Structure 1
Amino acid sequence: MIKALKSLWPNGISGQIVLLLLATVALSQLIALALVNLTDTRHNPDENLRMQARSIAAIIRLIADAPGMEERQLIVAAANRSNPDIDLSIIGAAGTPMIVPGGETAPDFLTRDLGEDIIATVDPHTGSEPRTVTVALPDEMHLRVNLPFSAPTPPLLNPRTNTLIFAAIGAIALLVWATRVLSTRLRNFAQAVAEYTPDGDHDALPETGPAELRTVAIALNRMRDRIDSLVKNRTMMLTAVGHDLRTPVTRMRLRAEFIPDEVTREAILRDLAQMTDMINAVLSLLRDPSALPPLERVDLASFLQALSDDYTDTGKAVDYRGPAHVTARIREEAFRRAVTNLIENALHHGTRCRITLAANADGPLVIDIEDNGPGIPADQREQMLQPFMRGDSSRSESHEGFGLGLAIALTTARNHNGTLTLEDSQMGGLRARLTLPR
């Protein structure tokens, strides 16, 4: 049964919207019909009131037609037994005039059935239900009877208006619900696409919902698989090339040692050292995240303090500011290379470097590495995080390096589920801010 119902559900978004509209109209009509019925039976007592008035009028006519007092008393007793709510009683003998001070004329729905020869007035002292009615028979005998229902009040809205109003309410409610369902799927879909990165570990997009969304999800899943495959193949190729280059570089270094010209030998060795450094930097940048060692809990404050002391011992102006002990889960070697790159970058473009660690109990760990150099213009900072970007001459007169330091630090931060941003420093230069989750 469930499979049969599922087979009737349209695959496309347009079909689902049409079906939801039809369901909206049908449901709103059912709600309106039910409310009209409730209005007729509960909020409009005209039919019950008419039947009750007819019953009371028939009893009064029987009493008026009875030949004697004894028969009339029997009719009154029988009427009270069958319907105690009316509380019928004889209050005045025949031929005795009785006037109800300030009495109001009984409602039309009662006087119509009584006839013109019987006069009915409503006691003004009974303002709430049931209303007390005094009836004067043709022979001037007076009766008192309770009318359990008040006169009908006109309904606030007629059935047609009720139908239109509740149909509109039902349609709007169901359309809002349907729109939220479809928009939620699209929003989740867009968020999954926006958060995708080739170096991240993401679940496949759900291939469910309307046919259009399923088609796009399948296409994007395949495209993401192709992108992952291309990135992995590129990484494997460049890594292999980098490893293979080490062997000829080593042979060239050994052969250079036998060059008799000292100037030429030193120049060649210097170039070979630069090539080795470039190979190591590229291999560090292209390291596969899945091959990284597991995270270890390290005293981050002591780690940063030790790095600062190492530079201070060599005469570099590097100081650490922050707590004495803060633990964090990091990959120590990779994180050491990233922070070292940032410190070297600060000292290369400035004369002083300051490392600041901020550790809030309910927030991430924040590491600021600042310098007093010329800084980087705000519109170039995002670009400077890309590989092989070394900036322009305004940053430094020297063009040493390969432009991989910031890129390696950014990759390391992402591999730790953190971020790296470049900002203005209070020291006048650049501030590289690393954030790490606890």
Structure 2
Amino acid sequence: MNRWRSLFLCGSIRRQIIILTALPILAVVVIASLIYSSENKTPYKSRVAIKIQMVVSQLAVSGSPQAADAVMTATSQTGLKVERLSARTAAAELVPFKTSDCDLAEISGELTSSLGAEVRKRTIAGSSEEVIAVPLAGGDVLAFTPAVRPSLPLLHPERLLFLPKVLVVVLPMLLLAIYVGSIITAPLTNFARAAQALSPDEGPDRPFEEHGPKEISALARALNDMRARIREMIDGRTRMVRAISHDLRTPLTRIRMRAERSTDPALRDAMLTDISRIDAMIQETLNYLQRDVASEAAVRVDLPSLLQTVCHDFANLDLPVSYEGPPRLAFACKPQALVRAFTNLVDNGVKFAGLVTVRLETLADGGVRVEVADDGPGIPQELRAKVVEPFFKGDASRAATAPGGFGLGLSIVDEIVRNHGGTMTLLASDPHGLVVRVDLPALVEASIAQSGDARSPMPYRTEQPRHAPI
């Protein structure tokens, strides 16, 4: 019971409305069927009573025992069993009996005044049955045993005649339930669709339509106000971090100048290293907060050329990075953002592995799949969901002594991929290593800017020096 209750309460509102509307309809149909069945009992009893009267009349005018036997045989073949008992046999086998069979009682009641019919219990060789006894002139008795009243099959013509009456009531109520369910659930469905398409930087300020019923309008206003508060909070956080990072640059520059004037080489090098790391951390934080991926227009580029450009930049530094995939493939994307994302992935790979491979393949739905695989130590399963969180460092799981970033590289990649409507998945490589799988869907034509010849190599490059934190 609780399971069905949970399924009902957790189901869609439209289904709940239809069920709540259908239950009373089914109750009406069942009650109407019972009424219909009770109304149709009377014609059956009347038919049996009329048939008994006809048999008695025909036997009265039959001129011979053979004709009387023919009448009774023909009657029995119709389902109304009839036997002619002598007065002695009737006295021995038939006894007065108060029947509980409503059909027999009503049939005999209709014939009592005209034929003197009564319900009797007939006992033969230890077995008994209820019959309708009709006395004849001369003392003989006709014992009638009506067949059990047949129940109409589901598709019997008499039931089908009742079907239009039911449909007149049922169909309008079901259509009304579906219409009401659509009116109520359509705004909620639109809310869910708008919420899934929202991003912190793109889209209208008030994406939820504030019209319709009072409750729906109130919900839309609340969601729009919440959207405005979230955007204001994000903008405030970004401004604060940028201001702090900017203000830190001035004292950091003074510390660098003082460290460079140090006469102790070991102390000077250690201080300059720490200052460089702090400066890199500030720059990486600013890059993470940078929202240029949201404002960059999507253009159609040659994706293999873009990926090969990233690989060649690392290969020119004698780093083991290679590309596998089709030589040409026109694909709509935000190229600067993708260059930044795949540069981060390849850069992470060369830090922890001896070989990095970038593979490209097309998907059946028009999207693409890019995999950046390395043969390093990999990332444990329990840390793969955490390494995409900002400022989470999983370096200890890969190489304790390897140089690492500040925990923002994969966060930046994940944000860029999600901004493209794609997904990023971290998988284990065989026999060891990490595979970062990026699935990008095909963008709709309306969101693609005209970029000229999409077959050009598109040598987009980052402005940061290669193998530096992005």
Specify the TM-score bucket, using the shorter chain as the normaliser: 0.5 to 0.7
How far apart, CA to CA, are the structure 2 residues paired with 1:351 and 1:186?
A: 52
- CA distance in structure 2 between the aligned counterparts of 1:230 and 1:418, rounded to whole angstroms: 26
Deviation, structure 1 residue 360: 5.1
CA distance in 1, matches of 2:264, 2:315: 37
Please, what TM-score do these two structures have when normalized by structure 1?
0.59
Pair 1:231–1:160, CA change in 2 (3 A): same
Q: Which residue of 1 aligns with 2:436?
A: 432
Q: 2:172 is aligned with what amino acid? A: G
Kindly state the Cα deviation for residue 240 of structure 1 after the two structures are TM-superposed.
2.4
Q: 2:456 aligns to what?
A: none
- Partner in structure 1 of residue 169 of structure 2: 167
State the AA in 2 paired with 1:179: G
- Inter-CA distance 319–158: structure 2 relative to 1 (3 Å threshold): closer
Kindly provide the CA deviation profile for residues 347-374 of structure 1, in whole angstroms up to 9, marking residues without a partner as x: 2232211101124585113211011223
Amino acid in structure 1 at the alignment position of 2:429: S
Task: Give the aligned partner of residue 101 of structure 1.
Answer: none
1:353-432 → structure 2 map (5 Å cutoff): 353-359=356-362, 363-391=366-394, 393-398=396-401, 400-426=404-430, 428-432=432-436
Q: Residues 375-416 of structure 1, C-alpha deviation per residue, up to 9 Å, x if partnerless?
A: 223443222211111126333323732011101112222344
Match of 1:249 among 252, 263, 271: 252
Change (3 A) 1:434 1:161: closer
Which of 178, 181, 185 matches 1:179? Answer: 181
Partner of residue 209 from structure 1, selected from 205, 209, 212: 212
Post-superposition Cα deviations, 1:4-51, rounded to whole Å, max 9, x if no partner, equal: xxxxxxxxx9xxx9xx98xx99xx9xxxxxxxxxxxxxxxxxxxxxxx
Task: Please state how far the C-alpha of 1:262 moved relative to its aligned partner.
Answer: 0.5
Shift of the 304–183 alpha-carbon distance from structure 1 to 2, 3 Å rule, reads same
SS in 1 for 2:203: coil
Query: Which of the pair has more CA radius of gyration?
Result: 1
Q: Deviations over 1:160-215 (max 9, x none)?
A: 98645521332233223322332233222233234433244256111122211111
Would the alpha carbon gap of residues 244 and 329 (structure 1) be closer, same or farther in structure 2, given more than 3 Å must change? farther
Aligned to 2:221: 218
1:285/1:411 contact within 8 Å kept? no
Report SS of the residue matched to 1:383: coil
Residues 165 and 388 of structure 1: is their aligned pair in 2 closer, same or farther, counting only changes over 3 Å? same
- 1:391 maps to a residue whose letter is G
C-alpha contact (below 8 Å) 2:299/2:333 kept by paired residues: yes
**How far does residue 340 in structure 1 lie from its aligned partner after superposition?**
1.7
The 1-side partners of 2:395 and 2:354 are apart by 19
Tell me the equivalent position of 2:306: 303
Amino acid at match of 1:420: M
Which stretch of the first structure deviates more once superposed, 262-271 or 427-436?
427-436
Question: What is the alpha-carbon distance in structure 1 between the residues aligned to residue 389 and residue 408 of structure 2?
Answer: 8
Identity within the alignment, %:
36
Distance verdict in 2 for CA 1:293–1:252, change over 3 Å: farther
Offset of residue 251 of structure 1: 2.5
What is the DSSP-based 3-state SS (H/G/I as helix, E as strand, rest coil) of the residue aligned with 2:383?
A: helix
Contact (CA 8 Å) 1:350, 1:373: kept in 2 or not?
Answer: yes
- Mapping for residues 32-111 of structure 1, pairs under 5 Å: none
Q: Aligned partner of 1:319: which letter?
A: S
Assess if the C-alpha contact under 8 Å between 1:289 and 1:415 holds in 2.
no
Gaps of 5+ in 2: 1-12, 29-156, 443-470
Aligned to 2:46: none
Change (3 A) 1:163 1:183: same
* Alignment partner of 1:288 is 2:286: no
Specify the code of the residue in structure 2 equivalent to 1:231. Answer: I
Question: What is the distance in 2 between the residues matched to 1:191 and 1:333?
Answer: 28
CA distance in 1, matches of 2:251, 2:257: 10
**CA root-mean-square deviation:** 3.3
Report the counterpart of residue 279 of structure 1 in structure 2: 282
Compute the displacement of 1:273 (Å): 0.7
Cα-to-partner distance string for 1:295-343 (whole Å, 9 max, x where unaligned): 4554332232233233233332211111223344455444333212111
When normalised by structure 2's length, the TM-score is 0.55
Match of 2:233 among 220, 230, 234: 230
Q: Which amino acid aligns with 1:374?
A: P
1:283 Cα deviation after fit: 0.9
Match of 1:196 in 2: 198
Shift of 1:418: 3.5
Kept after mapping to 1: 8 A contact 2:301/2:332:
yes
Conserved 8 A contact 2:294-2:419: no
Change (3 A) 1:210 1:305: same
Secondary structure of the residue aligned to 1:432 is strand
Query: 2:263 matched to 1:260?
Result: yes
Structure 1: which 5+ residue stretches go unaligned?
A: 1-12, 29-154
Contact 1:366/1:434 (8 A) holds in 2:
yes
Q: 1:258 to 1:291 in 2, by over 3 A?
A: farther
Which one of the candidate residues 328, 344, 349 is aligned to 2:347?
344
Residue 10 of structure 1 is matched in structure 2 by none
- Residue range with higher mean Cα deviation, 266-275 or 186-195: 186-195
Structure 2 SS opposite 1:216: helix
**What amino acid is aligned across from residue 282 of structure 1 in structure 2?**
T
Structure 2 counterpart of 1:312:
315
Quote the Cα distance in structure 2 between the aligned partners of 1:386 and 1:199: 19
